[in-house]
Amino acid sequence: MLLFYTPDISGERYVLPEEESKHCLRVLRLSVGDTLHLTDGKGALYTAQITDDRMKHCEIKITGKQENYGVRNYYLHLAVAPTKNNDRYEQLLDTATEIGIDEITPVICDRSERRTVNAGRWEKILVAAMKQSLKMRLPQLNAPAAFGDFIRQPFDGGKYIGCCHPDVPRELFWKVLPPSRRILTLIGPEGDFSEREMKAALQAGFKAITFGESRFRVETAGMIACMAAYMN
């Protein structure tokens, strides 16, 4: 399946954006009469046929549409502190999208070593991963949020916080996933959450969880959280 991202697609005929037109015609060498697939990033899969193969103006005719293609039985929101090494966070964005995620929020914590993000670059990574893994829903990338503000936001589902504090009772994440299948998981920075933050999160209704005996990197913990939800 050749998948193109067309967030503004509508009607029976559509002209691919210039970048997607070039990729379709120059890289993939498609031409008039060939079939391709498109997604609006909101869950719909479109089937289309090329009707005009001008290099910067590839026009298509929509021949089919499936709503909620490949819908999952869970909703996962990852809230993860940005890593000092930006490449590691970008790997998390890529892998989490491939596995299946709905929202991701960079959370700025007491011990965060990175407090700025490149939202434009991250959005491109999410789009590329969505297309590569044939997902039809683009994860929502939220603006960075201060820890204290974030934990006060309402969430209808199970709320969990990864914890390395030995004196805080913790449960294995995959053993406490909620029947509602709406999951919010907080993962802290390299130095873990501060005691102040952990106390505030527990008071806000988060449950302390662990991913096992090993101490994982931030991005690894995020990937494990995605796999736990996917496999459960």
Q: What is the pLDDT of residues 146-204, one digit of tens each?
A: 999 999 999 999 999 998 887 888 889 988 887 668 999 999 998 889 999 999 999 99
Q: What is the pLDDT of residues 200-224, one digit of tens each?
A: 999 999 999 999 888 899 999 999 9
CATH number of 75-231: 3.40.1280.10
Sequence ranges of the domains in the chain: 3-66, 75-231
Residue whose tokens read 């499936």:
66
Q: What is the pTM of this model?
A: 0.92
CATH architecture of 3-66: Beta Barrel (2.40)
